[in-house]
């Protein structure tokens, strides 16, 4: 009986985390289109000449925490998003950006 409940709980949390992850990428896509696509391109092709082409995987070999810091503080022509996007929102956007590759 105890084992059965455990299996049920594990199954449920796996399902929930899967759903949460999908939602984050979808939210990230909306935020990306709103705040990032003008320079990085709707498909990560890079519109502004100096902007990394995420589609080609440029800069994406760095961990999320490093990329998030650049987005927070801004980098060269990229404006800072601190105070515009919350950390969780930046992570949603980065999750989406990694799907463009
Ligand atoms: C005004 C244009 C512009 C906008 C808007 C913009 N970026 Fe950038 N972004 C750049 C440029 C230019 C660079 C390259 C900076 C450099 O030379 O290191 C860059 C670099 C980056 C990098 C790589 C940082 C690193 O440390 O290598 C990431 C990740 C990134 N942008 C994500 C985003 C996200 C996410 C958004 C939206 C929330 C965004 N950018 C909005 C222009 C922009």
- Buried/exposed 28-38: b ≥16 CB within 10 Å, e otherwise: bbebbeebbbe
pLDDT digit string, tens, across residues 76-95: 999 999 999 999 999 999 99
Query: Does 7 have pLDDT greater than 70?
Result: no
What is the predicted pLDDT for the residue at 3? Answer: 64
Distance CA 65, CA 1 (A): 42
**Domains of the chain, residue spans:** 2-97
What is the predicted pLDDT for the residue at 18? Answer: 57
CA–centroid distance, residue 51 to ligand 1 (Å): 6
CA–centroid distance, residue 21 to ligand 1 (Å): 23
pLDDT digit string, tens, across residues 17-72: 555 555 599 999 999 999 999 999 999 999 999 999 999 999 999 999 999 999 99
Fold designation for 2-97: Cytochrome Bc1 Complex; Chain D, domain 2 (1.10.760)
What is the predicted pLDDT for the residue at 88? Answer: 95
């Amino acid at each position: 009986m105890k084992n059965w409940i455990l299996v049920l709980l594990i199954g449920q949390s796996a399902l929930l985390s899967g759903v949460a992850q999908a939602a984050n990428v979808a939210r990230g896509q909306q935020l990306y289109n709103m705040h990032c696509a003008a320079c990085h391109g709707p498909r990560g092709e890079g519109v502004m000449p100096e902007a990394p082409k995420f589609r080609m995987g440029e800069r994406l070999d760095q961990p999320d925490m490093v990329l998030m810091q650049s987005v927070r503080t801004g980098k060269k022509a990229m404006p800072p998003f601190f105070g515009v996007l919350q950390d969780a929102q930046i992570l949603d956007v980065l999750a989406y950006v990694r799907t463009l590759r």
